[in-house]
């Protein structure tokens, strides 16, 4: 056999060996999500269920089950941690579940167009079963019943803020303080759109104009202030202050901007009104409904 023929045969053999080592993700299953769209999962075998929770094993390929998200920046989160982001078509992600601990996890997929969150799946509970749990899920005992396995399920509650009649997908839970709802500034702008800039610097007074006269806004109580921009409005927030500057004009929030757990929290209703978004509080459900 000629050396060239031997080389070609070796390359073909290597190609098929590599092909066989890659898992064949032939099965397609759609996992229902509580948010704007579902997730399509490609697996080597059928996706099992533990109660109503889908069971994932080994390597699985994920895609949004929605065609109009093509070309947007799609980010995949596992347990609220960003694992992969892409704007390729299709926006798929190969998840290796063997890198996760056994038990219950959450999956979320966000689609962003420029700086605006266009759609999100919300938090989807999934069961990871690669080792200890998977045999118990697959092999029933002789009497027809599988052995009892107690798994830990965290408490999933419904968020108290809804945007455009959809439950908010928040990184940190909102809370009620003195009759006002507080949520993180990042979570607010992820849903209504906008940009944030955190500025660290020396305290100094801000100059603004009122009734044709130049006035001084007192320096912020700390060296940190935040600049938020959305649809032609620039808002400067000062940690510890209940007054903000909207396009240079002091505007009361009613409640101060606070820092908690390293996150910036703002009063929801006052901030939304600045950006011309309507907020309706439902006392029966203790929820805020934001329309923009």
- Domain holding 122: CATH number? 2.60.40.10
Q: Which residues pair with 110 in a beta bridge?
A: 75, 120
Does residue 240 sit within a domain?
yes
Q: Are 69 and 91 a contacting pair, CB within 8 Å?
A: yes
212 in the same domain as 134? no
213 in the same domain as 107? no
Q: Count the domains in the chain.
A: 2
* pLDDT averaged over every residue in the chain: 77
Q: Give phi and psi for 98, each to the nearest 5.
A: -70, -15
Domain boundary among 123, 138, 153: 138
- What pLDDT score was predicted for residue 166? 86
Sign of the CA dihedral running 54, 125, 25, 131: negative
Domain boundary among 104, 138, 172: 138
Does residue 256 sit within a domain?
yes
Does residue 16 sit within a domain?
no
Which of 13-17, 51-55, 156-160, 271-275 is most confident?
Answer: 271-275
Does residue 62 sit within a domain?
yes
Put simply, whether the predicted model's pTM sits higher than 0.95 gets the answer: no
Pairing verdict, β 124-128 and 53-56: parallel
216 in the same domain as 129? no
| Cα 65 to Cα 46: distance, rounded to the nearest angstrom | 17
The residue written with tokens 């649809």 in the block is 231
Token representation of residue 148: 């009892």
| Cα 201 to Cα 238: distance, rounded to the nearest angstrom | 12
- Domain holding 167: CATH number? 3.30.457.10
Let me know the angle formed at the C-alpha of 114 by 257 and 189, rounded to the nearest 5 degrees.
15
Does residue 11 sit within a domain?
no
Does residue 126 sit within a domain?
yes
Average pLDDT over residues 189-206: 72
Of the two residues 140 and 215, the one the predictor is more confident about is 215
Instruction: Give 105-134 pLDDT, tens digit per residue.
Output: 888 999 988 878 888 888 888 888 876 444
177 in the same domain as 124? no
The residue written with tokens 């109660």 in the block is 51
Residue 41, domain extent: 24-138
Domain boundary among 106, 138, 170: 138
192 in the same domain as 134? no
Does residue 143 sit within a domain?
no
Give the start-end residues of each E strand in 87-169.
93-96, 103-113, 116-120, 124-128, 161-163, 166-167
Of the two residues 141 and 55, the one the predictor is more confident about is 55
130 in the same domain as 94? yes
| Cα 177 to Cα 245: distance, rounded to the nearest angstrom | 23
| Cα 203 to Cα 182: distance, rounded to the nearest angstrom | 25
28 in the same domain as 124? yes
- What pLDDT score was predicted for residue 104? 85
Q: pLDDT above 70 covers what percent of the chain? A: 72
249 in the same domain as 209? yes
Q: Are 73 and 111 a contacting pair, CB within 8 Å?
A: yes
- What pLDDT score was predicted for residue 207? 53
- What pLDDT score was predicted for residue 243? 85
Does residue 272 sit within a domain?
yes
Sign of the CA dihedral running 226, 218, 212, 270: positive
Average pLDDT over residues 134-153: 44
């Amino acid at each position: 056999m000629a050396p060239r023929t031997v080389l070609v045969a070796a390359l073909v053999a290597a190609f098929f060996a590599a092909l066989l080592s890659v898992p064949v993700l032939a099965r397609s299953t759609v996992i229902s999500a509580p948010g704007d769209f579902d997730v399509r999962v490609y697996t080597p075998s059928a996706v099992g269920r533990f109660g109503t929770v889908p069971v994932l094993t080994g390597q699985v390929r994920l895609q949004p089950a929605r065609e109009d998200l093509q070309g947007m920046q799609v980010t995949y989160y596992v347990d609220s941690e960003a694992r992969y982001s892409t704007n390729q078509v299709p926006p798929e992600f190969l998840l290796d579940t063997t890198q996760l601990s056994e038990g219950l996890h959450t999956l979320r997929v966000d689609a962003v167009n420029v700086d605006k969150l266009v759609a999100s799946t919300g938090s989807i509970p999934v069961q990871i079963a690669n080792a200890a749990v998977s045999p118990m899920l697959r092999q029933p005992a002789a009497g027809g019943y599988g052995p009892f396995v107690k798994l830990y399920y965290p408490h999933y509650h419904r968020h108290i803020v809804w945007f455009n009649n959809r439950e908010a997908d928040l990184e940190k839970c909102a809370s009620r303080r003195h009759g006002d709802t507080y949520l993180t500034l990042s979570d607010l702008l992820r849903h209504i759109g906008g940009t944030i800039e955190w500025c660290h610097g020396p305290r100094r007074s801000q100059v603004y104009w009122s009734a044709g006269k130049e006035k001084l806004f007192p320096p912020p109580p700390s060296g940190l202030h935040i600049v938020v921009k959305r649809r032609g409005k620039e808002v400067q927030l000062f940690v510890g202050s209940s007054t903000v500057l909207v396009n240079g004009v002091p505007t009361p929030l009613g409640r101060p901007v606070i820092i908690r757990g390293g996150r910036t929290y703002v009063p929801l209703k006052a901030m939304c009104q600045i950006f011309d978004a309507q907020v309706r509080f439902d006392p029966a459900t203790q929820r805020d409904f934001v329309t923009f």
